[in-house]
Amino acid sequence: MQSGKLIALAHNSEAFQQEPETLSAYYQQRKRWAKGNYQVILDNFKHLFDRSVWRIKWEVFYYISTFFWFNAAIVISDVIFVVNMVTWGISIFNPSVHILFTIGSNNVELANLLMINWFLMVGIYLLQINIALASQFGQLTVKNLLVAIISYITYAQLFIVVSVVSVISVLLDHILHRDGTKWYKTKRFGD
C-alpha cells in the first residue's frame, strides 16, 4: 500500500480454524489477538500525519475508530447501564435516590444524547456484521441478522473485558518498556 499498489481480495477463499475448547483458552486467544491489533494501530498511528498514501491513512483511521472509539463507546454505554440499574434498584427501597441517567424533564438533553449514542453504537455494530455477511454469498439472511443482534447483547459485551485488559497491557508495555511480544499459544484439541 505504501508504494501505491492495491491488495487483492480473494472473495471466494475459505479458511478454517480450530476454536479453543475452554473459556480460558478462548479468552487468552482473543486477548492476544486484540493486543496485537492495538499494537499494530499504535505502531501505524504516525501514518495519519506523514506523507503516506491516502489508503494507509484511511486504514489507520478505520481501525482507530473501530478499536478505540467504538470500544470506548461500548464501555461508556455499559457503565451508564450498570449505574442506572444500581440506582434504580436502590430507589425501590429508598425513594430519595434518583436514577442518574434518565429520560426525564430535568435532563432531557443528556438523555437524548445518550440515546442517540446508543442507537449509533448498535447501528455501527450491526452494519459491520452485515457488511461481512453481505460479502459472503447467501449469508445475509434474517436469521443471521437476529444472530448478530444476539451477539451484540452477548459476545460484544464479553469482549469488553478482553478489550480493556488488552489496552491496559499494551499501554503498560509501552510505559514500562516491557517486551509484550511473548504470546500465549492457544491450546489445540489433543494438545
Mean pLDDT of each 10-residue bin along the chain, 191 residues long? 79 76 84 88 89 87 83 79 81 81 63 73 80 80 87 79 88 84 66 53
CB proximity list for 49: less than 8 A, separation 6 or greater: none
Kindly tell me the burial class for residue 79, based on how many C-beta atoms sit within 10 Å of its own C-beta (0-12, 13-18, 19 or more).
exposed
Q: Tell me the C-alpha to C-alpha distance, in Å, between residue 73 and each of 30, 35, 107, 173.
A: 20, 19, 20, 24
CB proximity list for 26: less than 8 A, separation 6 or greater: 19, 20
The pLDDT of residue 152 = 80
The pLDDT of residue 108 = 62
The pLDDT of residue 6 = 80
The set of cell numbers assigned to 171 is 499501554
The pLDDT of residue 106 = 63
Q: Which amino acid is at 131?
A: I
The pLDDT of residue 183 = 65
Distance CA 75, CA 129 (A): 19
Residue 5 per-residue DSSP state: P
Beta carbons within 10 angstroms of residue 10's beta carbon: 6
Distance CA 160, CA 171 (A): 16
The pLDDT of residue 111 = 65
The set of cell numbers assigned to 135 is 460479502
91 in Cβ contact with 99 (< 8 Å): yes
Distance CA 170, CA 53 (A): 27
The pLDDT of residue 136 = 75
- Give residue limits of the domains in the chain: 26-175
The pLDDT of residue 10 = 79
